[in-house]
Structure 1
Amino acid sequence: MNALPEIGKPGDGKTLERMGPSGQAELQLPKRTAIFWFIVIWLLYVFDILDMLAISAVFPAIKAEYHLSDAQLGWLGGVRGLAALIAAIPVGILVDRWSRKYMIAIMSAIWSFFCWATAWMGNYRGLLFTRFMVGAGGAGYNTAGYALIGAWFPPRQRGVMTGLFNTGQPIGAFVGVGLAGWLAVTFGWRSVFGIVAIPGFILAALMLFAPDYKTKKKEKQEELAVGFNFGEAMRYIIKSPSLILLYLAQLGIGMWTFTFSAWVPSFYGRTFNLNMAQAGQAVMFFGLVTIFGAPIGGLLSDWWARRAVNGRVKATLFLTCWCGVFWSLTFTLAIKGYGLVPVLICWSLSQPAWAGMTAAVISSIIDVTAPHFRAFATSFVVLFQNITAFIGPGLAGSISDRMGLTLALFIIMLISIISMVMLFFFATRTYAGDLARLKQLGNFSMDRV
């Protein structure tokens, strides 16, 4: 049990600018215990993303078997976003009100089952249903994971640990898609879903034994148990402009992340005449490059946060601008007919920064929310991302049917990046005041459960 660190008085700008994330972990665990359970939830994140996006690796086979348009394929990739959009907030409430570890176990089992069931569907509607349920199963997993990371590790390490956790996304998306492409060519596209679902069941059972926490609030000489209160959490979020701005930025993040994840194998396959296995290998290359970006972005946000109260948000803004420059070069080169190598180089310079940016965003949100509603607060990340994650792949498919896939992806990328840059810039102006407001909620401590 350990109290949260002091952050200074509201309005004390000088104090806030000098302070940086420091102190001990809020939930005291042996280091090796924290690292072990971190690895477990990281592996779950890998298979969460892999199970959701494996279908994009087999788009060519599904398109041929069911005679689908690009728009229909896009909705097949995006329907999981609709499920997450519906489930995100209710699941976030359950995570904070009931149990983080049990909700992770249940959600993991759900998405793994419906990933396995995808292999048995005989028509397009059946595929839509199973992919919807995979999305529903993954809706609240990472929000619970972020809350546990915030408790298991010291504030000064939040950026890098969140970044390491977020490496699960590119590994699941890109290395997993590469694996799925190989499995599809070797054993048939249906075998992919039966094979990749198995680890999720095993890890879900293991999560039943993970360390969780209950929050206590210090009142004079007493420590009183504090539970999740919907009204309190909503009032805090609504009165925090930085949180609102960071949530709105998720519209751009969701639009681009899930649109490109759904279409990246098809983009490389069509642009450079690659088959499913070759396109999957190209995507796997990006996964290997991207994994370095998330922890580096986390380290950058930790470093910047020690030097400025809004340092995490500044890191987010810088990384977003970097991505915009090199993605613009990626699609410009592809449109102008350059070969695979220069396109790969430009994208490999942007993708790690994107992974680092998402780590900085999440740690920025954790820093300005109290431990008893962190999962609820981060569930809005899932909510806002999946508003556009649901729309993006289908929209890209519709534009692609008219203008070509490369130009469709270029347009969606520009809209996403420009909106994010504007929102992150405004968040740098409001973050100090919101961090100061956190202290007004009181001092909190944790007990392991």
Structure 2
Amino acid sequence: MAYHTPSDDGLADDNPNVPRYYAWIVFALSFGLLISDYMSRQVLNAVFPLLKVEWQLSDARLGLLSGIVALMVGLLTFPLSLLADRWGRVRSLALMAVLWSLATLGCGLAQDYNQMFAARFLVGVGEAAYGSVGIAVVLSVFPKHMRATLTGAFMAGGMFGSVLGMALGGGIAAHVGWRWAFAGMALFGLTLAVLYPIIVKEGRIAPQGTQGAARGQGEADDKPARLPLGSLFGSRSVRAAYVGSGLQLFVGGTFIVWMPSFMNRYYAMGADRAGAGAAAVVLASGAGMVLCGMLSDRLCRHSPPRKITLAIAYCLGSCVLLSVAFAMAPGALQLALIGAGMFLAAGTTGPAGAMVANLTHRSIHGTAFATLTLANNLLGLAPGPFLTGVLADHLGLATAFQLVPLLSIASAAVFWYARRHYEHDARCAAAAAAAVAARAPAMEVQA
């Protein structure tokens, strides 16, 4: 019996009307901006040791500088994604990049902790909706059977951006000062922000059928046109996907933020070497996003529920590897286990993104990924660094790192709950999507 997902609705097209070469150009530029996003976000981590000494900061206050960005992303991603869907995704993405780049420049100009905090606040505002709107743009120009691969690969840009932000930021800070590290990240982002709207055109990336539907919604104000929004939280599986993804990112996001400090304190590395060492660990996480997403699509193309089983395995595997690693003394074996654990910790990104895409209507994918981003930040990326900093102040960073991987067990339990209900929820979502597609022609006639 063939398995049907909500992507089999009347609006879905396994071969979007976009030339493949142009689709990859859109991906490359969107991916580049995501790298800039995370370079601007994570360069701060590379200079944590320098700021701690210069401004006499506690670990909790350092963690707050990182957590405020994730908090603003979590709070603003939903409304700003809705605004981007209405105002234009391409223009919105370009303006976001300009804002976070200028705010990153402001970090380099900050004279005290309060000014740095305000600049980081604006970095978070600028970056708030980029991930959700950017992945919606990417998914709109590629076939639906590539969703886990594309989601994992695109979101891996965050890891690669973190790698570059920490490695380059640490190197720049060690040679010319930490202020220039922020300036370098800002220049890269501003350059891409100018190029993006010149090359990526709104009219070329709009999926077939969506423009007419948008006109029908805007002019006729039909209540049925709003029905797809119900799929954002309409099933147990999609709600579990949000929560499971957020809990797992508590683990991965925390280690990304604090790894340079861990290298500095327990391996006696300077800012440049600590940044480079931490970057290698984060690179393993980025590779995990890509390769685990590809594995999910390859093994589970004809059985989407198996992707959730793989997500559970990734959670439990990462928990074991990281728990063992941080119980060991510093050394090569510990670093190898940390790298392997981070590889698996990020593996849930592709399956979780595919679940959200399959259980929500394609016309609201930007909003759906905004909801996923909201969960990722409010449950994981925002509280993780701060709570770990609080634990580090009281117990030491090494002990805090031993406790963090336990959150993966909770994530695995949530994904197991999603696995139990996925097939039923997917059939219901597919039926609802088909009903919406059947009403679309009538809406266009009324408009």
State whether structure 2 residue 270 is matched by structure 1 residue 268. no
Could you list the per-position Cα deviations for residues 370-401 of structure 1 after superposition, in whole angstroms to 9, with x for gaps in the alignment? Answer: 22111111111121122132222121111111
Which one of the candidate residues 225, 237, 245 is aligned to 2:240?
245
What SS class does the counterpart of residue 109 from structure 2 fall into?
Answer: coil
Q: 8 Å contact 1:246–1:427 — kept in the other structure? A: yes
Deviation at 1:435, TM superposition (A): 1.9
Q: 8 Å contact 1:366–1:374 — kept in the other structure? A: yes
User: Which residue in 2 is equivalent to 1:394?
Assistant: 386
Q: 8 Å contact 1:215–1:227 — kept in the other structure? A: no
AA aligned to 2:361 is A
Change (3 A) 1:196 1:69: same
What SS class does the counterpart of residue 164 from structure 1 fall into?
Answer: helix
State whether structure 2 residue 3 is matched by structure 1 residue 16. yes
Relative to its length, the structure with more helix (as a share) is 2
What SS class does the counterpart of residue 204 from structure 1 fall into?
Answer: helix
Q: 8 Å contact 2:140–2:207 — kept in the other structure? A: no
AA aligned to 1:323 is S
User: Which residue in 2 is equivalent to 1:8?
Assistant: none
Deviation at 1:20, TM superposition (A): 10
User: Which residue in 2 is equivalent to 1:83?
Assistant: 72
Q: 8 Å contact 2:49–2:271 — kept in the other structure? A: yes
Which one of the candidate residues 34, 47, 52 is aligned to 2:23?
34
Deviation at 1:223, TM superposition (A): 7.4
State whether structure 2 residue 247 is matched by structure 1 residue 258. no
Which one of the candidate residues 279, 294, 299 is aligned to 1:284?
279
Q: 8 Å contact 1:175–1:287 — kept in the other structure? A: no
Could you list the per-position Cα deviations for residues 179-215 of structure 1 after superposition, in whole angstroms to 9, with x for gaps in the alignment? Answer: 1111100110011011111121121222214143156
Unaligned runs of 5+ in 1: 1-13
- Tell me how many residue pairs correspond in the alignment: 424
Which one of the candidate residues 364, 368, 380 is aligned to 1:373?
364
Change (3 A) 1:183 1:162: same
What SS class does the counterpart of residue 304 from structure 2 fall into?
Answer: coil
Deviation at 1:363, TM superposition (A): 1.9
User: Which residue in 2 is equivalent to 1:303?
Assistant: 298
Change (3 A) 1:64 1:261: same
Q: Percent identity?
A: 25
AA aligned to 2:25 is F
Q: 8 Å contact 2:7–2:358 — kept in the other structure? A: no
Change (3 A) 1:426 1:373: same
Unaligned runs of 5+ in 2: 441-447
User: Which residue in 1 is equivalent to 2:444?
Assistant: none
Deviation at 1:224, TM superposition (A): 8.0
Structure 2: distance between partners of 1:239 and 1:19: 13
Structure 1: distance between partners of 2:5 and 2:105: 51
Structure 1: distance between partners of 2:375 and 2:208: 27
Which one of the candidate residues 410, 427, 431 is aligned to 2:402?
410
Change (3 A) 1:71 1:213: same
What are the within-5 Å matches in structure 2 for residues 43-442 of structure 1?
Answer: 43-208=32-197, 209-210=199-200, 211-213=204-206, 216=209, 225=215, 227=217, 232-333=227-328, 337=329, 339-388=330-379, 389-414=381-406, 416-439=407-430, 440-442=432-434
Could you list the per-position Cα deviations for residues 189-247 of structure 1 after superposition, in whole angstroms to 9, with x for gaps in the alignment? Answer: 011011111121121222214143156379xxx97856598953442223211111111
Could you list the per-position Cα deviations for residues 12-64 of structure 1 after superposition, in whole angstroms to 9, with x for gaps in the alignment? Answer: xx432799999954531111111111000111111101100110110111111
What SS class does the counterpart of residue 239 from structure 1 fall into?
Answer: coil
Structure 2: distance between partners of 1:67 and 1:289: 32
Q: 8 Å contact 2:82–2:367 — kept in the other structure? A: yes
Structure 1: distance between partners of 2:142 and 2:113: 44
- Report the aligned-residue RMSD: 2.6
Change (3 A) 1:436 1:164: same
TM-score (norm 2): 0.88
TM-score (norm 1): 0.88
What SS class does the counterpart of residue 68 from structure 1 fall into?
Answer: coil
